[in-house]
Amino acid sequence: MDTQFWDEMYRSRDQVFSGAPNRVLVTEVTDLTPGRALDVGCGEGADALWLARQGWQVTAVDISRTALQRAAAAATDVTGRVAWTLADLTTAPPAVRSFDLVSVQYFPLSHVPDHTVLRGLLNTVAPGGTLLFVSHDPAGLSPRPEDGFDPGDYYQPDDIARLLDHDWTVLINETRPRTDPAPAGTHHTHDTILRAQRLR
Which CATH number fits the domain that encloses residue 174? 3.40.50.150
Q: Which residues pair with 105 in a beta bridge?
A: 134
Domain membership of residue 48 (yes or no) is: no
Q: Identity (one letter) of the amino acid at 116?
A: T
Separation CA 20–CA 199 (nearest Å)? 31
Residue 126 phi, psi dihedral angles, 5° rounding: -75, 155
Q: Which helix (H) or strand (E) holds 6?
A: helix 3-11
> Is there a domain that residue 140 lies in?
yes
pLDDT in tens, 94-141: 899 999 999 999 988 989 888 999 999 999 999 999 999 999 887 866
For residue 180, the enclosing domain spans: 88-198
The whole-angstrom separation of Cα 200 and Cα 195 is 16
Q: Is the whole-model pTM more than 0.85?
A: yes
Nearest to 55 by CA among 81, 80, 75, 73: 81
Domain membership flag for residue 169: yes
Residue 73 domain-assigned?
Answer: no
C-alpha–C-alpha distance, residues 30 and 19, integer Å = 18
Is residue 178 domain-resident? yes
Cβ pair 47, 26 in contact under 8 A: no
Using an 8 Å Cβ cutoff, are 39 and 104 in contact? no
131 CB burial (10 A radius; 0-12, 13-18, 19+): buried
Domain total for the chain? 1
- Helices 65-73 & 3-11, crossing angle to 10 degrees? 50
In a domain, 105, yes or no: yes
Could you give the 3-state DSSP secondary structure of residue 36?
strand
pLDDT tens string for the chain (200 positions)? 677 776 677 777 777 676 689 999 999 999 999 999 999 999 999 999 999 999 999 999 999 999 899 999 989 999 899 999 999 988 888 899 999 999 999 988 989 888 999 999 999 999 999 999 999 887 866 666 666 567 788 999 999 999 999 999 999 999 999 877 766 666 678 999 999 999 99
How far is 153 from 147, CA to CA, in rounded Å?
Answer: 13
Residue 3 lies in a domain: no
Residues 47/18, Cβ–Cβ less than 8 Å = no
Does 22 reside within a domain? no
